[in-house]
């Protein structure tokens, strides 16, 4: 649809996501989650991004340019006992991004992952620990994404950009 209307696709931003335990209000241990809740988590957090990347890759290869930005999460690198499925899906997003970068690089197509830690999108995020002592403001994440989409980042591909206030440096209790 976008290709038909605009004649090209320059940027894909896969920004959908959510922890199924919170979104589906299903606060159970992983082994007690209904399969439908697990499927929902994989559909929203991983498969949707795979499908959208699949849909635009051919056009980007044909035009010899394009940027795919996938939203990961600190949970994709740290893991989370309270969100096993979410962590697995976000880890998959990081792998997807690296594989897309390998496929796209010979054709001028880039792929990057942005993995936020706590972001002030809801009140509970303010209580999550980071080395910098606060959650990110949404604009800080947006600014990173805008940079990665710009020509200033033309040599960046296949990378996972942690924007987590130092949370993944280690030692966070």
The C-alpha atoms of residue 22 and residue 121 are separated, in whole angstroms, by 14
Going by the DSSP 8-state scheme, the letter that residue 106 receives in this structure is G
- 86 catalytic per annotation: yes
159 and 111 Cβ atoms separated by less than 8 Å: no
Active-site annotation holder among 14, 60, 72, 86: 86
Q: Which residues are catalytic?
A: 86
């Amino acid at each position: 649809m976008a290709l038909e209307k605009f004649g090209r696709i320059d940027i894909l931003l896969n920004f959908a996501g959510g922890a199924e335990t919170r979104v589906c209000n299903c606060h159970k241990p992983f082994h007690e989650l209904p399969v439908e809740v697990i499927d929902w988590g994989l559909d929203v957090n991983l498969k949707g991004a795979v499908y959208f990347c699949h849909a635009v890759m051919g056009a980007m290869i044909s035009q010899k340019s394009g940027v795919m930005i996938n939203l990961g999460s600190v949970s994709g690198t740290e893991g989370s006992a309270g969100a096993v499925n979410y962590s697995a899906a976000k880890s998959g997003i990081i792998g997807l991004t690296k594989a897309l970068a390998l496929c796209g690089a010979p054709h001028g197509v880039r792929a990057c992952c942005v993995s936020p830690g706590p972001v002030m999108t809801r009140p509970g995020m303010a209580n999550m620990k980071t080395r910098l002592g606060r959650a990110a403001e949404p604009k800080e994440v947006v600014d990173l994404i805008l940079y990665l989409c710009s020509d200033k980042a033309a040599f960046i591909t296949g990378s996972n950009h942690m924007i987590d206030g130092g949370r993944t440096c280690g030692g966070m209790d």
